[in-house]
Amino acid sequence: MEAIAKYTKKVYSKRIFKDLSIVFTENIITKALNFIIILALTRKLGPTEYGKYSYMYVFIGFFSSFLDFGMENTAVRFSSKYKELKDNIFGIYVTALFLVMTFAIGFFTVFHKQYLVSMHKQELNIFFTVVMISLFGESFIYVNDTYLQAVQKFKFRAAINISRYVGTLSFVAILIFTNNINLHFVTYIFYVPVIMTLFFIRRYITFIKSIIGYVFDKNILKKIIKYQMWMLFMSMANNILSRLDIIMLSFWVSFKEIGTYNAAFQLTSIVSFLPYVLGKVLLPKFAEKNQKDVCKIAVKSMKITSIIGLLILAFIPLVPAIVKFLLGEKYLDAMAITQILLISFDLSMVFLPIEQTMYAMDNPKALSIGKYVQIIILIILNILFIPRFGYVFAAINVLVTRVIYCVIITKLFLNHRQKLIN
């Protein structure tokens, strides 16, 4: 029995390493492709037009993930734990998401003009249709990605995500070579996720059929609802924080400054994908472990992320030269913003194992509290400093609140681990 246990542990460790390698490679490729796309768009469109594109891009990403309401995390968590209920759980996910997105698009259709006027962005009204269609497609991309993560088909997931960026880059290349690189044609990029979801329609139908007439075990359903309740709050917090800086900047700055800030944000994607990679793989793995083992894995993982974090910090002095070389003279103001955001993303990576541990121990409530504290402080700091000192303080405020959040979750983790020991 002991030999079997050792062999199983060895195989399991190899599988984690293999999955991490696949997701890591996928993100290296997709981030590299996206990096080329961003460089092309920033240089060809210029700060003002790129600022308009950035605003639409952030709007689609923000609301598609925001209106997911944390169902992604819940679906992965419980379909990994109750594998026989996988289709049923995703059936609830797809149905709920379809209803929520239909309502949201209907709402924006009625009130989009008032929204754009309130944000002083009326010139974006002509792009309303493409943004709404993309919002729907982007939302269901999450379903596809979540399902493949839950069943741990990381190779297939990688192939799909890479294909998306290859298609986008090809389209941008065609626009450049045909001399049609203008904002109107560039927004067609937003149709790519819509096209990709068409290949998964049969899977969506299978999910929906699985819940017709099916009765969930009351205890399991109660656990799912309880977990989802806190994931709802957690998801709202995560998605608000994801681009609250850009959303709030829109109240006070021009499209040119939005474009400069987002160019800096995109440059930090060189390291910002690392927390994403680790989170995608660790969540389903942690879901299969008991709490004591999860704590041990988290501590070991943090040693690795800390070393990587220190290596990343060594590149910060090189940022000015990198910005000037890659983005050009028009984006010199992005230098300081890039350095600040790089430190912020670095902290996210270092402390990610602790964050994932709290999910795995069915304690999203604690993370929710930390996130909302972070949001409140960030909003206050933005209101106080951005109008008075400029848009660089949007990045500074993100860093300050990230430090506060890391302190909070570390304290919560240490308290929980102590209780397990006792």
Range of the domain at 242: 2-421
CA dihedral 112, 117, 118, 123 (to 10 degrees): 90
DSSP code string of 191-238: GHHHHHHGGGHHHHHHHHHHHTT----HHHHHHHHHHHHHHHHHHHHH
Lowest model confidence (mean pLDDT) among 176-190, 302-316, 327-341, 356-370: 356-370
Lowest model confidence (mean pLDDT) among 46-50, 114-118, 125-129, 296-300: 296-300
Indicate the pLDDT class of residue 7, thresholds 50, 70 and 90.
very low
At 386, is the secondary structure helix, strand, or coil?
helix
For range 71-81, the mean pLDDT: 76
pLDDT value, residue 384: 93
Average pLDDT, the chain: 81
Q: How far is CA 131 from the centre of its chain?
A: 19
Whether the model pTM is above 0.75: no
Indicate the pLDDT class of residue 15, thresholds 50, 70 and 90.
low
pLDDT value, residue 290: 65
For range 82-100, the mean pLDDT: 83
d(C-alpha 393, C-alpha 379), whole Å? 12
Phi/psi for 79 (5° steps) reads -75, -25
Per the structure block, which two tokens stand in for 209? 């059929």
| pLDDT tens digit sequence for 16-30 | 677 778 877 887 888
- Give the closest residue to 355 by CA, choosing from 275, 415, 289: 275
Has residue 323 got a pLDDT over 90? Answer: no
d(C-alpha 387, C-alpha 414), whole Å? 38
| pLDDT tens digit sequence for 139-198 | 888 788 888 877 778 888 888 889 989 999 999 999 999 988 888 899 999 888 888 888
Question: What are the distances in angstroms from CA 272 to CA 67, 126, 225, 352?
Answer: 23, 32, 31, 12
d(C-alpha 82, C-alpha 318), whole Å? 48
| pLDDT tens digit sequence for 231-255 | 777 777 777 777 788 888 888 888 8
What count of other Cβ atoms lies within 10 Å of the Cβ of residue 366?
19
For residue 85, give the H/E element and its range: none
pLDDT value, residue 337: 92
**Domains: count for the chain:** 1
At 48, is the secondary structure helix, strand, or coil?
helix
pLDDT value, residue 150: 78
More confident residue, 365 or 58: 58
DSSP letter (8 states) at residue 11: H
d(C-alpha 264, C-alpha 319), whole Å? 10
pLDDT value, residue 263: 87
For range 50-60, the mean pLDDT: 88
pLDDT value, residue 393: 92
d(C-alpha 347, C-alpha 305), whole Å? 9
- CB-CB contact of 165 with 106 (8 Å): no
Has residue 289 got a pLDDT over 70? Answer: no
pLDDT value, residue 262: 86
Helices then strands, counting H and E runs in the chain, come out as 17, 0
Per the structure block, which two tokens stand in for 362? 């069915």
CA neighbours closer than 13 Å in the CB half-sphere of residue 188:
13
d(C-alpha 188, C-alpha 192), whole Å? 8
CA dihedral 293, 298, 304, 310 (to 10 degrees): -160
Has residue 284 got a pLDDT over 70? Answer: no
For range 287-294, the mean pLDDT: 66
d(C-alpha 213, C-alpha 1), whole Å? 42
pLDDT value, residue 4: 43
Cβ neighbours of residue 217 under 8 Å, at least 6 residues apart? none
